Amino acid sequence: MFKKILIANRGEIAVRVIRACHEMGIAAVAVYSDVDRASLHVRKADEAYPIGAPEASESYLNIEKILDVAERSGTEAIHPGYGFLSENAKFARACAGVGVKFIGPTAEAMEAMGSKTRARQAMEAAGIPIVPGTSRGLESLEQAGQAATRIGYPVMLKAAAGGGGKGMRLVHAPEDLKSALEEARSEAERSFGDGEIYIEKVIVNPRHIEMQILADEHLKTVYLGERECSLQRRHQKVVEEAPSPIVDSGMRCRMGEVAVRVAQAAGYTNAGTVEFLVDEQKNFYFLEMNTRLQVEHPVTELVTGLDLVHLQIRIAAGEPLPFQQDDVKIRGHAIECRIYAEDPDNNYFPSPGKITLLLAPSGPGIRRDSGMYEGWTVPMDYDPLLAKLIGYGTDREQAIGRLTRALSEYFVGGIKTNISLFRRILRHPDFRAAKIDTGFLDRLLKLKEDVGVEAPTDPRTVEVAVIAAGMFAALGPAAAGAGERGLENGSAGGNSKAASNWKSTAHREALR
Protein backbone atom coordinates (compact mmCIF):
# COMPACT_ATOMS: atom_id res chain seq x y z
CA MET A 1 0.00 0.00 0.00
CA PHE A 2 1.07 3.59 -0.67
CA LYS A 3 2.55 5.55 2.24
CA LYS A 4 1.91 8.99 0.76
CA ILE A 5 -0.71 10.33 -1.68
CA LEU A 6 -0.92 13.79 -3.26
CA ILE A 7 -4.39 15.22 -3.82
CA ALA A 8 -4.40 17.35 -6.97
CA ASN A 9 -7.58 19.20 -6.08
CA ARG A 10 -9.23 21.56 -3.58
CA GLY A 11 -12.50 22.05 -1.69
CA GLU A 12 -14.81 19.35 -0.41
CA ILE A 13 -13.44 16.59 -2.66
CA ALA A 14 -9.84 17.18 -1.52
CA VAL A 15 -11.07 16.92 2.09
CA ARG A 16 -12.98 13.73 1.21
CA VAL A 17 -9.85 12.09 -0.23
CA ILE A 18 -7.61 13.27 2.64
CA ARG A 19 -10.05 11.63 5.08
CA ALA A 20 -9.82 8.32 3.20
CA CYS A 21 -6.00 8.52 3.27
CA HIS A 22 -5.99 9.06 7.02
CA GLU A 23 -8.44 6.19 7.56
CA MET A 24 -6.00 3.95 5.67
CA GLY A 25 -2.85 5.17 7.46
CA ILE A 26 -1.61 7.06 4.39
CA ALA A 27 -0.06 10.55 4.58
CA ALA A 28 -1.91 13.19 2.52
CA VAL A 29 -0.16 15.94 0.57
CA ALA A 30 -2.16 19.03 -0.40
CA VAL A 31 -1.42 21.58 -3.10
CA TYR A 32 -2.95 25.05 -3.05
CA SER A 33 -3.18 28.19 -5.12
CA ASP A 34 -2.57 31.67 -3.67
CA VAL A 35 -6.25 32.15 -2.75
CA ASP A 36 -6.48 28.74 -1.08
CA ARG A 37 -3.74 29.17 1.52
CA ALA A 38 -6.33 29.09 4.32
CA SER A 39 -8.65 26.52 2.72
CA LEU A 40 -9.85 23.47 4.63
CA HIS A 41 -7.98 20.90 2.53
CA VAL A 42 -4.70 22.64 3.37
CA ARG A 43 -5.47 22.52 7.08
CA LYS A 44 -6.42 18.85 7.03
CA ALA A 45 -3.44 17.60 4.99
CA ASP A 46 -0.16 16.39 6.52
CA GLU A 47 1.90 18.57 4.14
CA ALA A 48 0.84 21.40 1.83
CA TYR A 49 2.67 23.07 -1.04
CA PRO A 50 1.85 26.32 -2.84
CA ILE A 51 1.51 25.95 -6.62
CA GLY A 52 0.90 29.51 -7.73
CA ALA A 53 -1.64 32.00 -9.01
CA PRO A 54 -5.41 31.46 -8.61
CA GLU A 55 -6.03 30.84 -12.34
CA ALA A 56 -6.42 27.07 -12.68
CA SER A 57 -3.94 26.98 -15.57
CA GLU A 58 -1.29 28.34 -13.19
CA SER A 59 -2.14 25.98 -10.32
CA TYR A 60 -4.65 23.07 -10.22
CA LEU A 61 -4.34 22.46 -13.97
CA ASN A 62 -0.58 22.90 -14.08
CA ILE A 63 0.87 19.42 -14.66
CA GLU A 64 4.49 20.50 -14.27
CA LYS A 65 3.98 22.21 -10.92
CA ILE A 66 1.94 19.34 -9.49
CA LEU A 67 4.49 16.72 -10.57
CA ASP A 68 7.25 18.88 -9.10
CA VAL A 69 5.48 18.79 -5.71
CA ALA A 70 4.97 15.03 -6.09
CA GLU A 71 8.71 14.58 -6.55
CA ARG A 72 9.75 16.94 -3.74
CA SER A 73 7.30 15.36 -1.26
CA GLY A 74 8.09 11.74 -2.10
CA THR A 75 4.52 11.03 -3.22
CA GLU A 76 3.79 7.55 -4.56
CA ALA A 77 0.33 8.19 -6.02
CA ILE A 78 -1.90 11.11 -7.05
CA HIS A 79 -5.65 11.32 -6.57
CA PRO A 80 -7.11 13.89 -8.99
CA GLY A 81 -10.61 14.24 -7.43
CA TYR A 82 -13.16 15.44 -10.02
CA GLY A 83 -12.83 18.32 -12.49
CA PHE A 84 -9.38 19.87 -13.06
CA LEU A 85 -6.96 17.13 -14.24
CA SER A 86 -9.17 14.16 -13.39
CA GLU A 87 -10.01 13.26 -17.01
CA ASN A 88 -6.82 14.56 -18.59
CA ALA A 89 -5.07 11.71 -20.45
CA LYS A 90 -1.91 13.78 -20.80
CA PHE A 91 -1.70 14.11 -17.01
CA ALA A 92 -2.30 10.37 -16.45
CA ARG A 93 0.50 9.67 -18.93
CA ALA A 94 2.83 12.24 -17.32
CA CYS A 95 2.30 10.63 -13.90
CA ALA A 96 3.24 7.23 -15.27
CA GLY A 97 6.28 8.87 -16.91
CA VAL A 98 7.70 9.96 -13.54
CA GLY A 99 6.78 6.74 -11.72
CA VAL A 100 3.81 8.14 -9.79
CA LYS A 101 0.60 6.07 -9.81
CA PHE A 102 -2.44 7.96 -11.13
CA ILE A 103 -5.48 6.88 -9.08
CA GLY A 104 -7.90 6.41 -11.95
CA PRO A 105 -8.09 4.73 -15.35
CA THR A 106 -5.27 4.56 -17.89
CA ALA A 107 -4.72 7.38 -20.39
CA GLU A 108 -5.85 5.01 -23.16
CA ALA A 109 -9.20 4.27 -21.47
CA MET A 110 -9.74 8.02 -20.95
CA GLU A 111 -9.02 8.72 -24.59
CA ALA A 112 -11.38 5.97 -25.75
CA MET A 113 -14.20 7.75 -23.88
CA GLY A 114 -13.05 11.34 -24.51
CA SER A 115 -14.63 11.62 -27.94
CA LYS A 116 -18.34 10.80 -28.05
CA THR A 117 -18.23 9.65 -31.66
CA ARG A 118 -15.29 7.38 -30.88
CA ALA A 119 -17.07 6.00 -27.82
CA ARG A 120 -20.27 5.44 -29.87
CA GLN A 121 -18.28 3.51 -32.50
CA ALA A 122 -16.67 1.30 -29.85
CA MET A 123 -20.01 0.69 -28.08
CA GLU A 124 -21.81 -0.05 -31.33
CA ALA A 125 -19.14 -2.67 -32.10
CA ALA A 126 -19.57 -4.15 -28.60
CA GLY A 127 -23.36 -4.43 -29.04
CA ILE A 128 -24.20 -1.78 -26.42
CA PRO A 129 -27.53 0.04 -26.95
CA ILE A 130 -26.81 3.66 -28.02
CA VAL A 131 -29.24 6.46 -28.93
CA PRO A 132 -30.01 6.00 -32.66
CA GLY A 133 -27.95 8.39 -34.76
CA THR A 134 -24.59 8.80 -36.49
CA SER A 135 -21.34 7.69 -34.93
CA ARG A 136 -19.12 9.82 -37.15
CA GLY A 137 -18.76 13.57 -37.43
CA LEU A 138 -21.05 15.25 -39.98
CA GLU A 139 -19.09 16.29 -43.06
CA SER A 140 -21.67 18.39 -44.87
CA LEU A 141 -25.15 19.86 -44.61
CA GLU A 142 -26.36 17.34 -47.21
CA GLN A 143 -25.08 14.45 -45.09
CA ALA A 144 -26.72 15.97 -41.99
CA GLY A 145 -30.01 16.34 -43.88
CA GLN A 146 -29.94 12.72 -45.03
CA ALA A 147 -29.17 11.45 -41.52
CA ALA A 148 -31.92 13.61 -39.98
CA THR A 149 -34.48 12.39 -42.54
CA ARG A 150 -33.49 8.79 -41.83
CA ILE A 151 -33.73 9.27 -38.02
CA GLY A 152 -36.86 11.46 -38.22
CA TYR A 153 -37.35 14.96 -36.79
CA PRO A 154 -36.90 16.30 -34.18
CA VAL A 155 -33.18 15.51 -33.99
CA MET A 156 -30.40 16.52 -31.61
CA LEU A 157 -27.06 17.86 -32.79
CA LYS A 158 -24.23 17.20 -30.33
CA ALA A 159 -20.53 18.01 -30.12
CA ALA A 160 -18.21 14.98 -30.22
CA ALA A 161 -15.96 16.68 -27.68
CA GLY A 162 -19.02 17.86 -25.74
CA GLY A 163 -20.45 17.69 -22.30
CA GLY A 164 -22.52 20.07 -20.24
CA GLY A 165 -24.90 20.75 -23.11
CA LYS A 166 -22.35 22.88 -25.00
CA GLY A 167 -22.63 22.56 -28.74
CA MET A 168 -26.01 20.84 -28.36
CA ARG A 169 -28.96 21.92 -30.57
CA LEU A 170 -32.50 20.61 -30.87
CA VAL A 171 -33.73 20.73 -34.48
CA HIS A 172 -37.47 20.51 -35.16
CA ALA A 173 -37.63 20.80 -38.95
CA PRO A 174 -35.38 20.50 -42.05
CA GLU A 175 -35.37 24.27 -42.64
CA ASP A 176 -33.74 24.84 -39.19
CA LEU A 177 -30.92 22.36 -39.76
CA LYS A 178 -28.47 24.65 -41.54
CA SER A 179 -28.38 27.39 -38.89
CA ALA A 180 -28.45 24.87 -36.00
CA LEU A 181 -25.49 23.01 -37.47
CA GLU A 182 -23.53 26.25 -37.93
CA GLU A 183 -24.30 27.36 -34.35
CA ALA A 184 -23.46 23.97 -32.83
CA ARG A 185 -20.19 23.83 -34.76
CA SER A 186 -19.01 27.29 -33.79
CA GLU A 187 -20.00 26.76 -30.13
CA ALA A 188 -18.13 23.43 -30.06
CA GLU A 189 -15.14 25.05 -31.74
CA ARG A 190 -15.13 27.87 -29.19
CA SER A 191 -15.67 25.62 -26.14
CA PHE A 192 -13.53 22.60 -26.99
CA GLY A 193 -11.36 23.66 -29.94
CA ASP A 194 -13.07 20.85 -31.86
CA GLY A 195 -16.07 21.50 -34.12
CA GLU A 196 -16.97 17.85 -34.77
CA ILE A 197 -20.78 17.42 -34.64
CA TYR A 198 -22.89 14.26 -34.82
CA ILE A 199 -26.61 13.68 -34.78
CA GLU A 200 -28.98 11.73 -32.49
CA LYS A 201 -32.66 10.93 -32.35
CA VAL A 202 -34.40 13.00 -29.64
CA ILE A 203 -35.43 11.14 -26.52
CA VAL A 204 -38.56 12.92 -25.21
CA ASN A 205 -38.66 13.80 -21.47
CA PRO A 206 -35.61 11.67 -20.76
CA ARG A 207 -34.23 10.72 -17.39
CA HIS A 208 -30.53 10.79 -16.70
CA ILE A 209 -29.61 7.61 -14.85
CA GLU A 210 -26.00 6.57 -14.34
CA MET A 211 -24.41 3.34 -13.20
CA GLN A 212 -21.36 3.26 -10.91
CA ILE A 213 -18.74 0.65 -11.80
CA LEU A 214 -15.46 -0.47 -10.25
CA ALA A 215 -12.80 -2.41 -12.14
CA ASP A 216 -9.60 -3.80 -10.66
CA GLU A 217 -6.35 -4.37 -12.57
CA HIS A 218 -7.00 -8.12 -12.69
CA LEU A 219 -9.88 -8.03 -15.20
CA LYS A 220 -12.70 -8.02 -12.64
CA THR A 221 -15.47 -5.41 -13.07
CA VAL A 222 -18.56 -4.96 -10.90
CA TYR A 223 -21.48 -2.49 -10.85
CA LEU A 224 -22.64 -0.77 -7.67
CA GLY A 225 -26.13 0.30 -8.70
CA GLU A 226 -27.51 3.44 -10.28
CA ARG A 227 -27.99 7.09 -9.40
CA GLU A 228 -30.95 9.17 -10.57
CA CYS A 229 -29.60 12.54 -11.74
CA SER A 230 -32.56 13.99 -13.65
CA LEU A 231 -32.81 17.10 -11.47
CA GLN A 232 -30.55 19.49 -13.35
CA ARG A 233 -30.42 23.20 -14.03
CA ARG A 234 -28.59 24.31 -17.17
CA HIS A 235 -26.95 20.87 -17.38
CA GLN A 236 -25.70 21.20 -13.79
CA LYS A 237 -26.88 18.49 -11.43
CA VAL A 238 -28.66 19.84 -8.37
CA VAL A 239 -30.11 16.79 -6.56
CA GLU A 240 -29.06 13.16 -7.00
CA GLU A 241 -30.41 10.00 -5.42
CA ALA A 242 -29.81 6.28 -5.16
CA PRO A 243 -31.52 4.06 -6.01
CA SER A 244 -33.56 5.58 -8.87
CA PRO A 245 -37.26 5.45 -7.99
CA ILE A 246 -38.03 4.06 -11.48
CA VAL A 247 -35.42 1.29 -11.55
CA ASP A 248 -36.44 -2.14 -10.22
CA SER A 249 -34.05 -5.02 -9.55
CA GLY A 250 -34.54 -6.49 -13.03
CA MET A 251 -33.75 -3.21 -14.78
CA ARG A 252 -30.80 -2.61 -12.41
CA CYS A 253 -29.34 -5.97 -13.31
CA ARG A 254 -29.69 -5.36 -17.08
CA MET A 255 -28.32 -1.83 -16.85
CA GLY A 256 -25.49 -2.93 -14.58
CA GLU A 257 -24.47 -5.73 -16.93
CA VAL A 258 -24.46 -3.29 -19.88
CA ALA A 259 -22.32 -0.86 -17.83
CA VAL A 260 -19.82 -3.63 -17.06
CA ARG A 261 -19.61 -4.45 -20.76
CA VAL A 262 -19.03 -0.76 -21.57
CA ALA A 263 -16.14 -0.66 -19.09
CA GLN A 264 -14.65 -3.90 -20.40
CA ALA A 265 -14.90 -2.74 -24.02
CA ALA A 266 -12.81 0.32 -23.04
CA GLY A 267 -10.24 -1.67 -21.02
CA TYR A 268 -11.35 0.36 -18.04
CA THR A 269 -9.82 0.23 -14.56
CA ASN A 270 -10.64 1.96 -11.24
CA ALA A 271 -13.93 3.82 -10.50
CA GLY A 272 -16.08 5.01 -13.39
CA THR A 273 -19.64 5.96 -14.28
CA VAL A 274 -21.66 4.91 -17.30
CA GLU A 275 -24.37 7.47 -18.15
CA PHE A 276 -27.67 6.45 -19.73
CA LEU A 277 -30.61 8.36 -21.15
CA VAL A 278 -33.83 6.58 -20.22
CA ASP A 279 -37.01 7.14 -22.24
CA GLU A 280 -40.61 7.13 -21.03
CA GLN A 281 -40.89 3.38 -21.74
CA LYS A 282 -37.77 2.81 -19.59
CA ASN A 283 -35.59 1.86 -22.57
CA PHE A 284 -32.04 2.91 -21.74
CA TYR A 285 -29.30 4.09 -24.08
CA PHE A 286 -25.57 4.57 -23.47
CA LEU A 287 -24.73 8.29 -23.45
CA GLU A 288 -21.12 8.57 -22.25
CA MET A 289 -18.70 7.30 -19.65
CA ASN A 290 -17.23 9.56 -16.97
CA THR A 291 -13.71 8.40 -16.23
CA ARG A 292 -13.46 9.83 -12.72
CA LEU A 293 -14.89 9.74 -9.19
CA GLN A 294 -18.07 11.83 -9.41
CA VAL A 295 -19.42 14.58 -7.16
CA GLU A 296 -22.46 12.44 -6.31
CA HIS A 297 -20.53 9.28 -5.31
CA PRO A 298 -21.70 9.50 -1.65
CA VAL A 299 -25.27 8.38 -2.44
CA THR A 300 -23.85 5.14 -3.85
CA GLU A 301 -21.60 4.75 -0.80
CA LEU A 302 -24.56 5.11 1.56
CA VAL A 303 -26.76 2.52 -0.17
CA THR A 304 -23.97 -0.03 -0.77
CA GLY A 305 -21.97 0.47 2.44
CA LEU A 306 -18.79 0.65 0.35
CA ASP A 307 -16.13 3.37 0.46
CA LEU A 308 -15.36 4.26 -3.15
CA VAL A 309 -12.21 6.25 -2.36
CA HIS A 310 -10.73 3.44 -0.26
CA LEU A 311 -11.49 1.05 -3.11
CA GLN A 312 -9.98 3.41 -5.70
CA ILE A 313 -6.76 3.54 -3.69
CA ARG A 314 -6.65 -0.24 -3.17
CA ILE A 315 -7.27 -0.87 -6.88
CA ALA A 316 -4.51 1.60 -7.82
CA ALA A 317 -2.14 -0.23 -5.45
CA GLY A 318 -2.79 -3.40 -7.46
CA GLU A 319 -5.12 -5.16 -5.03
CA PRO A 320 -7.94 -7.31 -6.41
CA LEU A 321 -11.53 -6.24 -5.67
CA PRO A 322 -12.27 -7.64 -2.20
CA PHE A 323 -15.85 -8.76 -3.05
CA GLN A 324 -17.98 -10.31 -5.82
CA GLN A 325 -20.94 -8.89 -7.74
CA ASP A 326 -23.30 -11.03 -5.63
CA ASP A 327 -21.99 -9.40 -2.45
CA VAL A 328 -23.19 -5.94 -3.59
CA LYS A 329 -26.57 -5.20 -2.01
CA ILE A 330 -28.59 -1.99 -2.28
CA ARG A 331 -30.03 -1.09 1.11
CA GLY A 332 -32.08 2.00 1.95
CA HIS A 333 -32.25 5.29 0.06
CA ALA A 334 -29.92 8.31 -0.15
CA ILE A 335 -30.47 11.82 -1.57
CA GLU A 336 -27.77 14.46 -2.09
CA CYS A 337 -28.13 18.24 -2.28
CA ARG A 338 -25.31 20.28 -3.81
CA ILE A 339 -24.85 23.38 -1.66
CA TYR A 340 -23.53 26.21 -3.82
CA ALA A 341 -22.42 29.74 -2.96
CA GLU A 342 -24.93 31.32 -5.30
CA ASP A 343 -27.78 33.78 -5.01
CA PRO A 344 -31.30 32.37 -5.53
CA ASP A 345 -32.60 35.92 -5.93
CA ASN A 346 -30.12 36.82 -8.63
CA ASN A 347 -30.58 33.96 -11.09
CA TYR A 348 -28.29 31.69 -9.05
CA PHE A 349 -25.29 33.86 -9.80
CA PRO A 350 -22.10 32.86 -7.90
CA SER A 351 -21.91 34.65 -4.56
CA PRO A 352 -18.46 34.41 -2.95
CA GLY A 353 -17.51 36.12 0.31
CA LYS A 354 -16.68 35.54 3.95
CA ILE A 355 -18.63 32.99 5.98
CA THR A 356 -19.43 34.92 9.15
CA LEU A 357 -21.42 32.20 10.90
CA LEU A 358 -21.76 28.51 10.16
CA LEU A 359 -24.20 26.14 11.82
CA ALA A 360 -23.95 22.70 10.28
CA PRO A 361 -26.51 19.90 10.60
CA SER A 362 -25.78 16.37 11.74
CA GLY A 363 -27.85 13.67 13.43
CA PRO A 364 -29.38 10.40 12.24
CA GLY A 365 -29.00 9.60 8.54
CA ILE A 366 -27.09 12.74 7.65
CA ARG A 367 -23.74 12.93 5.87
CA ARG A 368 -22.10 16.25 5.13
CA ASP A 369 -19.05 16.53 2.85
CA SER A 370 -17.93 20.14 3.17
CA GLY A 371 -15.00 22.33 2.26
CA MET A 372 -16.06 25.35 4.30
CA TYR A 373 -15.57 26.60 7.84
CA GLU A 374 -16.63 29.66 9.79
CA GLY A 375 -14.37 32.61 9.04
CA TRP A 376 -13.27 31.21 5.65
CA THR A 377 -13.64 33.39 2.57
CA VAL A 378 -15.10 31.60 -0.46
CA PRO A 379 -12.83 32.54 -3.38
CA MET A 380 -14.46 33.61 -6.62
CA ASP A 381 -11.94 31.77 -8.78
CA TYR A 382 -13.44 28.27 -8.80
CA ASP A 383 -16.65 26.27 -8.96
CA PRO A 384 -18.82 27.57 -6.09
CA LEU A 385 -19.69 24.11 -4.67
CA LEU A 386 -19.36 24.53 -0.89
CA ALA A 387 -20.65 21.26 0.45
CA LYS A 388 -22.86 18.28 -0.18
CA LEU A 389 -25.61 17.39 2.24
CA ILE A 390 -26.80 13.80 1.96
CA GLY A 391 -29.81 12.29 3.69
CA TYR A 392 -30.07 8.54 4.19
CA GLY A 393 -32.92 6.37 5.43
CA THR A 394 -34.52 2.95 5.19
CA ASP A 395 -36.71 4.29 2.38
CA ARG A 396 -37.10 7.40 0.18
CA GLU A 397 -39.65 9.01 2.50
CA GLN A 398 -37.39 8.76 5.53
CA ALA A 399 -34.43 10.08 3.53
CA ILE A 400 -36.53 13.10 2.45
CA GLY A 401 -37.66 13.71 6.03
CA ARG A 402 -34.14 13.62 7.41
CA LEU A 403 -32.76 15.80 4.64
CA THR A 404 -35.55 18.36 5.08
CA ARG A 405 -34.88 18.43 8.81
CA ALA A 406 -31.11 18.84 8.25
CA LEU A 407 -31.63 21.63 5.69
CA SER A 408 -33.64 23.55 8.28
CA GLU A 409 -30.70 23.23 10.70
CA TYR A 410 -28.19 24.46 8.10
CA PHE A 411 -27.23 28.11 8.45
CA VAL A 412 -24.53 29.77 6.39
CA GLY A 413 -24.16 33.46 7.29
CA GLY A 414 -22.40 36.17 5.30
CA ILE A 415 -22.88 34.71 1.82
CA LYS A 416 -25.83 33.62 -0.27
CA THR A 417 -26.41 29.91 -0.82
CA ASN A 418 -28.95 27.83 -2.72
CA ILE A 419 -30.10 26.00 0.45
CA SER A 420 -33.62 27.46 0.16
CA LEU A 421 -34.02 25.85 -3.28
CA PHE A 422 -33.77 22.35 -1.79
CA ARG A 423 -36.57 22.98 0.70
CA ARG A 424 -38.80 23.93 -2.23
CA ILE A 425 -37.78 20.86 -4.22
CA LEU A 426 -38.12 18.39 -1.35
CA ARG A 427 -41.61 19.51 -0.37
CA HIS A 428 -42.94 19.58 -3.95
CA PRO A 429 -45.67 16.95 -4.58
CA ASP A 430 -44.08 15.90 -7.89
CA PHE A 431 -40.71 15.32 -6.22
CA ARG A 432 -42.39 13.42 -3.39
CA ALA A 433 -44.13 11.28 -6.02
CA ALA A 434 -40.76 10.85 -7.82
CA LYS A 435 -42.13 12.50 -10.99
CA ILE A 436 -38.76 13.98 -11.80
CA ASP A 437 -38.15 14.24 -15.51
CA THR A 438 -35.63 16.74 -16.80
CA GLY A 439 -38.19 19.57 -17.02
CA PHE A 440 -39.02 19.57 -13.28
CA LEU A 441 -36.58 22.25 -12.14
CA ASP A 442 -37.32 24.66 -14.99
CA ARG A 443 -41.01 24.43 -14.15
CA LEU A 444 -40.32 25.05 -10.45
CA LEU A 445 -38.07 28.04 -11.09
CA LYS A 446 -40.49 29.61 -13.58
CA LEU A 447 -43.22 29.31 -10.99
CA LYS A 448 -41.14 31.41 -8.65
CA GLU A 449 -40.89 34.29 -11.11
CA ASP A 450 -44.65 34.18 -11.54
CA VAL A 451 -45.02 35.01 -7.86
CA GLY A 452 -43.53 38.38 -8.72
CA VAL A 453 -40.46 38.56 -6.52
CA GLU A 454 -37.86 40.99 -7.77
CA ALA A 455 -34.16 40.22 -7.78
CA PRO A 456 -32.42 42.38 -5.16
CA THR A 457 -30.04 45.06 -6.28
CA ASP A 458 -29.73 46.41 -2.78
CA PRO A 459 -26.44 46.00 -0.92
CA ARG A 460 -28.44 45.91 2.30
CA THR A 461 -29.34 42.27 1.54
CA VAL A 462 -25.83 41.40 2.68
CA GLU A 463 -26.48 43.29 5.88
CA VAL A 464 -29.69 41.33 6.39
CA ALA A 465 -27.73 38.08 6.21
CA VAL A 466 -25.49 39.31 8.99
CA ILE A 467 -28.48 40.46 11.04
CA ALA A 468 -30.12 37.09 10.50
CA ALA A 469 -26.94 35.37 11.62
CA GLY A 470 -26.92 37.51 14.75
CA MET A 471 -30.57 36.67 15.37
CA PHE A 472 -29.73 33.01 15.22
CA ALA A 473 -26.89 33.38 17.66
CA ALA A 474 -29.12 35.29 20.07
CA LEU A 475 -32.47 33.56 19.58
CA GLY A 476 -31.75 30.07 18.30
CA PRO A 477 -32.96 28.05 15.31
CA ALA A 478 -36.44 29.55 14.99
CA ALA A 479 -34.88 32.89 14.13
CA ALA A 480 -32.40 31.35 11.70
CA GLY A 481 -35.09 29.51 9.79
CA ALA A 482 -37.02 32.74 9.57
CA GLY A 483 -33.98 34.73 8.55
CA GLU A 484 -33.11 32.43 5.75
CA ARG A 485 -36.62 32.03 4.47
CA GLY A 486 -36.78 35.79 4.39
CA LEU A 487 -33.70 35.97 2.22
CA GLU A 488 -35.16 33.41 -0.14
CA ASN A 489 -37.87 35.87 -1.01
CA GLY A 490 -35.66 38.82 -1.76
CA SER A 491 -35.33 39.95 1.86
CA ALA A 492 -36.24 43.33 3.30
CA GLY A 493 -34.93 46.61 1.93
CA GLY A 494 -37.77 47.97 -0.19
CA ASN A 495 -39.65 44.74 -0.80
CA SER A 496 -42.52 44.95 1.63
CA LYS A 497 -44.10 41.71 0.46
CA ALA A 498 -40.89 39.83 1.16
CA ALA A 499 -40.40 41.63 4.45
CA SER A 500 -43.87 40.73 5.65
CA ASN A 501 -43.39 37.17 4.50
CA TRP A 502 -40.19 37.10 6.51
CA LYS A 503 -42.07 38.27 9.59
CA SER A 504 -44.94 35.83 9.16
CA THR A 505 -42.54 32.96 8.66
CA ALA A 506 -40.69 34.02 11.77
CA HIS A 507 -44.00 34.05 13.64
CA ARG A 508 -44.90 30.58 12.38
CA GLU A 509 -41.49 29.25 13.29
CA ALA A 510 -41.69 30.73 16.76
CA LEU A 511 -45.01 28.98 17.35
CA ARG A 512 -43.76 25.54 16.31
Q: How many residues bind ligand MV4 (CB under 6 A)?
A: 14
b/e map 452-470, b = 16+ CB within 10 Å: ebeebebeebbebbebbbe
* Among residues 61, 122, 202, 467, the one that binds ligand MV4 under rule CB under 6 A: 202
- Asked if 95 and 78 touch (Cβ cutoff 8 Å), the reply is yes
Query: Given candidates 65, 208, 252, 314, which one binds ligand MV4 under the rule CB under 6 A?
Result: 208
**Minimal distance, residue 285 CB to ligand MV4, in Å:** 8
Q: What is the CA radius of gyration of the chain?
A: 23
Give, as ranges, the residues between 151 and 180 that touch ligand MV4 (CB under 6 A).
156, 165
> Nearer to ligand MV4 by C-beta: 165 or 353?
165
CB of 265 to ligand MV4, least distance (A): 21
- Nearest approach, Cβ of 493 to ligand MV4 (angstroms)? 35
- Interface mask toward ligand MV4 for 309-328; x: CB under 6 A: --------------------
The nearer residue to ligand MV4, 70 or 239, going by C-beta atoms, is: 239
CA distance 47 to 39: 13
Return the SS3 of 394: coil
Residue 194, Cβ density class (10 Å: 0-12 exposed, 13-18 middle, ≥19 buried)? middle
- Please identify, using beta-carbon distances, which residue of 32 and 198 lies nearer to ligand MV4: 198
Residue from 36, 196, 200, 488 binding ligand MV4 (CB under 6 A): 200
For residues 286 and 411, which CB has a smaller minimum distance to ligand MV4 in the complex?
286
Judge residue 233's burial from the number of C-beta atoms within 10 Å of its C-beta, 0-12 exposed, 13-18 middle, 19 or more buried: middle
35 vs 278 by CB, closer to ligand MV4: 278
For ligand MV4, the binding residues in 270-289 under the rule CB under 6 A are 277
257 CB-near residues (< 8 Å, 6+ apart): 223
Distance between CA atoms of 490 and 471, rounded to whole angstroms? 18
> Residue 321: which residues within 8 A CB-CB, separation 6 or more?
214, 216, 218, 220, 222, 311, 315
Q: Which is nearer to ligand MV4, 200 or 343 (CB)?
A: 200
Is 131 a binder of ligand MV4 (CB under 6 A)?
yes
> Do 116 and 162 meet the contact criterion of CB atoms below 8 Å apart?
yes
Question: Scanning residues 210 to 239, which ones bind ligand MV4 (CB under 6 A)?
Answer: 230, 232, 235
Tell me the β-bridge partners of 101: 77
- Of 184 and 306, nearer to ligand MV4 (C-beta) is 184
Q: Which stretch binds ligand MV4 (CB under 6 A): 28-36, 49-57, 203-211, 303-311?
A: 203-211
Q: Please list, in sequence order, all residues whose beta carbon lies within 8 angstroms of the beta carbon of residue 358, skipping any fewer than 6 positions away.
A: 372, 373, 374, 411, 412, 413
Task: Tell me whether residue 37 is one of the annotated catalytic residues.
Answer: no
Phi, psi of 440 (to 5 degrees): -55, -50
Helix, coil or strand: residue 29: strand
Residue 92 C-beta: closest distance to ligand MV4, Å: 24
144 binds ligand MV4 (CB under 6 A): no
Q: How far is the CB of 36 from ligand MV4 (least distance, A)?
A: 29
Q: Which of 83, 206, 332, 481 binds ligand MV4 (CB under 6 A)?
A: 206
Site string for ligand MV4, 432-451 (x = CB under 6 A): ------x-------------
Confirm if 272 and 261 have CB atoms less than 8 A apart: no
* Beta carbon of residue 279, minimum distance to ligand MV4 (angstroms, whole number): 9
Catalytic residue among 207, 227, 252, 292: 292
Smallest distance from ligand MV4 to CB 349, Å: 20
Shortest reach from residue 438's CB to ligand MV4, in Å? 3
- Whole-angstrom CA distances from 251 to 260, 267, 286 are 14, 24, 14
Measure the CA dihedral 294/33/22/89, to 10°: 40
Nearest to 204 by CA among 287, 278, 129, 130: 278
Catalytic residue IDs = 292
Contacts with ligand MV4, residue ranges (CB under 6 A) = 131, 156, 165, 200-203, 206, 208, 230, 232, 235, 277, 438
